[in-house]
Every structure is written in C-alpha cells, then in structure tokens.
Amino acid sequence: MLRLIGAAVFFIIIFYMVNPFYARIHLPLIAAQMEWMHPEYDVKISEIVTIDRIDYFQYTITVNKPMANRPYAPLKTGNTVRLKAQANSLCIAPIIVFSLILAWPGISLLNRLQTFLISLPLIILVHAVDLPMIFIANIESVHSTNDFGNASRSVWSHILNNGGRQFLALVIFLISIAPIYLKIDYGRHPANHIQNSSQTVVPRRNDACPCGSGKKYKNCCLDNK
C-alpha cells in the first residue's frame, strides 16, 4: 500500500506538470471524433480556458439539425452550443493504471515496461468513450428524438462522472497485466502446457507389444521386463 501511495503521488506530480501539453494533444482529437460520429456537427472553436486555475476543454459547435421540440423547423445557420469539461479528468485513468503497474509486487522491470505498452492503447480507447461521449450526450439530449439513445447516453455520462473512470482504469490494469502473469506461469510450469516428448510411455497389458511382434504386451515382452 505504501508503494502504491508513493507511485500515485509520483504520477500525480508528473501529470500536473504535463497536463497542459496532454490536454492540448486531446483537444483536436475530441473535436475530430465528435465530427466523425456526427457529421452534422461543425466544431467552430476548440480551446482550453483556465477558470480559477483549472483548465477546461471548451468547444463551440454548430449543430446542423433542428432541436427535438421543433423537428420541422427549417435549418438556416444551425444551432450553436458551447460545451466545456475539466481537462484533468483525462488524467484519472493513466494515473491509476501507471501507479498500479509501478507499485505492483512480484514482476520484473521488463514486465512492467511491457504492461505499460499494453495499457497505452486501452487508455486511448477509454478516452474515446469519455469526454466525446459526454459532449455528444449533452447535444443530443436537445437535438435527438430517440428516447432510448438519449437515455443510454445519459446513463453512460452519469456512470463516468460517478466512479466509472476509476472502474475503467482498474479494468485496463487487469487486462494489461494478465498476459504478463500468463507468461510467468507458463515459464514456471512448462510441464503443464507441453508434454515432454522424451518421456517413455509404458504400454498396458492388453496393448500391442511395442516390439512389433503383433502379440499383446502381456503375452510377449512383459515377461522379459
């Protein structure tokens, strides 16, 4: 536990220092994902704003479809919405995953590096279903007439904002470290996975005699053993 606390403090400090750069990397990626998933979205402005020393993603988006309460209204210039969310929310998953990997006992440095590499694409996948999906849920709540879709997006946003990010981080860690433990177990107990080809198989009494006489083993070479 002390190792985990130390690792967590270490990565919190690291991400506190790199968070402006980390956030700027994701700023255009989030905008591109929203436009890819909903071509009727047009992200006009994507920026990072600082409020009370906290960085926020802020997007100004033109939604080129009518609102749900007036579905037959003609489209002119579209409906403009402005959304924002804390940029440091994207640091939750990597801090938890990297801290667990660094503090986890019983694995070598090489295995830790391999676990880091396995976890990276999974963290990117989690980021893809985090803030972009929350922004889309906010927009579609007033622009979509699909009640089931709106309810699903609302539930997912609620889960993410109430411990879902932490849970997904634990899932990422378990998936990342599982191949390492399988490899370690395979190395410790190879006999459980591959039968030794040099091991002699003793025939049973009624089996054909291995000498090739065509007789049963009990009537041939068993008496000579």
Could you tell me if residue 73 is inside a domain?
no
Phi, psi of 209 (to 5 degrees): -70, 135
Q: What is the mean pLDDT of the chain?
A: 85
Total of domains in the chain: 1
CA quadruple 84, 85, 91, 97: dihedral sign: negative
Could you tell me if residue 129 is inside a domain?
yes
Euclidean distance between CA atoms 200 and 174, whole angstroms: 40
Tokens of 170: 């634990």
Question: pLDDT higher for 194 or 173?
Answer: 173
Could you tell me if residue 146 is inside a domain?
yes
Q: Rounded to the nearest 10 degrees, what angle do helices 109-128 and 2-37 cross at?
A: 40
Could you tell me if residue 217 is inside a domain?
no
Going by the DSSP 8-state scheme, the letter that residue 164 receives in this structure is: I
Q: How many CB atoms neighbour CB 88 within 10 A?
A: 16
β-bridge mates for residue 45, sequence order: 60
Mean pLDDT of 83-92: 92
Could you tell me if residue 17 is inside a domain?
yes
Phi, psi of 81 (to 5 degrees): -125, 155
Q: Is 56 helix (H, G, I), strand (E, B) or coil?
A: strand
Mean pLDDT of 185-212: 61
Tokens of 205: 């009494």
Residue 99 pLDDT > 90 = yes
User: pLDDT value at position 215?
Assistant: 73
User: Taking the model in full, what pTM does it have?
Assistant: 0.76
The C-alpha angle with vertex 46 and arms to 121 and 22, in degrees rounded to 5, equals 40
Q: What percent of the chain has pLDDT over 90?
A: 56
Mean pLDDT of 155-166: 93
Report residue 197's pLDDT band, with 50, 70 and 90 as the boundaries: very low
Report residue 93's pLDDT band, with 50, 70 and 90 as the boundaries: very high
Could you tell me if residue 220 is inside a domain?
no
Residue 219 pLDDT > 60 = yes
Euclidean distance between CA atoms 135 and 67, whole angstroms: 16
Q: What one-character-per-residue DSSP string does 64-108 give?
A: -S--TTSTTPPPSS-EEEEEEEEGGGGGHHHHHHHHHHHH-TT--
What single-letter amino acid sits at 176? S
Q: Up-side HSE of residue 179: CA atoms within 13 Å toward CB?
A: 12
What single-letter amino acid sits at 175? I
Instruction: Give the lowest-confidence range in 38-52, 109-123, 185-199.
Output: 185-199
Phi, psi of 28 (to 5 degrees): -70, -30
Could you tell me if residue 76 is inside a domain?
no
Domain membership of residue 33 as a residue range: 2-39+88-188
User: pLDDT value at position 204?
Assistant: 73
Each residue's pLDDT tens digit, 3-60: 889 999 999 999 989 988 999 999 999 999 999 999 999 999 999 999 888 899 999 9
Report residue 214's pLDDT band, with 50, 70 and 90 as the boundaries: low
Residue 96 pLDDT > 90 = yes
User: pLDDT value at position 106?
Assistant: 82
Could you tell me if residue 13 is inside a domain?
yes
Euclidean distance between CA atoms 208 and 220, whole angstroms: 9
Tokens of 155: 């539930």
